[in-house]
Structure formats: structure tokens, C-alpha cells
Amino acid sequence: MGMEQKGKIIISEEEIQGKVRELAGQISKDYEGLNPIIITVLRGAVYFMVDLTRYLTIPHRIDFLAISSYGPAAQTGGVRITKDLDLDIHDEHVLILEDIVDTGLTLHYLLRILKERGPASIKICTFLDRAAQRIADLHIDYRGFEVGEAFVVGYGLDRDEKFRNLQYIMAVEE
């Protein structure tokens, strides 16, 4: 039950920070003059958000929401907002940050809920993308890295609430 975890580092701290700066540069360019609301899905994406926003060169606001799926999302196909946004996103430009998109079902349902509030635009930025697992038809606007099948931890991603604070991404041996 220590901090040790068997696995292989697949993305280093240097690679992560380089990519986060690159994404922040692109987002700063694309959202020039739009004063976007950056929405972070709790809790894994918090680490990514903190680094990303520090490199943004444009005015923006941040907000948070938490969701839980009704059982396995793949079977029941629904998410519930357990902590809602504080900001009103009507007529606002919204960018959602996620730690990893796997089946895409979570974000698919979240998008449906948020679109009903009438944002001016809504885009997705995910730190990791496991596209081979995708079930939902979801357009990813910004992605950090593509990952394979193996479960990953670190940089916000957990296994049983552990390992979020690793500076790198590690593929875990189950």
C-alpha cells in the first residue's frame, strides 16, 4: 500500500510539460478575443487544467463540474451532474478539459446536457485519448497524447484514488 507501483513510464514529465505548452499556445490563438470558460471535469483533469491555464496568454475564466455515471456508462448510457458549474455558459465559448477520453460516453452525455444551456460554442480538450476504445461519436478538438489499451495512472489519473500526483504517465501492470 505504499507509493510504489509496478509499471512502465510511457510519457515523461518533460514530454507532458512540452505538450501542455503546445496546447496552450494553440488554444490561446484559437480563443483570442473570446474570453472562454474553461470547464474542468473533476477530479482527474485538475492537474492538467492548472498547468494548461498557466500557459494561456488570453483572458479566460475557469469553472468545475463533477459527474457520476449511472452504473457502467456503456450499459445505461447516462451521466448525472453531482457538482454543477457556478457560471452561466449561455452565449459563452466553452472549452471542456478531460484527463482521458476512453469510450467517450461520459463526455457524450455531458455535452448533451451542456448544449441545452445554449453556449456560443463548445469544444473538447483531452490530455489523453484512447481512441481505439471509442463507442460514442465524439469530436475531440484538442488532444495531448494518444494511449494504448493499458490502464494508465499519473498526472491526475488515478487507480482507486491513488497515483494522481505522479509527474509522469505510467502504464500499470494489472
Per CB under 5 A, residues contacting Mg ion are 44
- Dihedrals phi, psi of 170, to nearest 5 degrees: -120, 135
Provide the β-strand partners of residue 11.
Answer: 169
| Residue nearer to ligand IMP on the CB measure, 37 or 138 | 138
Give the whole-angstrom CA distance, residue 152 versus residue 171.
4
> How do 93-101 and 79-83 pair as beta strands?
unpaired
Total interface residues for ligand IMP by CB under 6 A: 14
How many C-beta atoms lie closer than 10 Å to residue 129's C-beta?
A: 22
Nearest distance from residue 79's CB to Mg ion, in Å?
11
| Residue nearer to ligand IMP on the CB measure, 51 or 102 | 102
- Among this protein's residues, is 102 annotated catalytic? yes
Verify binding: residue 100, ligand IMP, rule CB under 6 A: yes
Q: Out of 51, 92, 99, 129, which residue is the one contacting ligand IMP (CB under 6 A)?
A: 99
| Residue nearer to ligand IMP on the CB measure, 28 or 103 | 103
| Annotated catalytic residue, options 51, 99, 102, 129 | 102
The secondary structure element, H or E, covering residue 95 is strand 93-101
Give the whole-angstrom CA distance, residue 145 versus residue 21.
13
Chain residues binding ligand IMP by CB under 6 A are 44, 73, 98-106, 151-152, 157
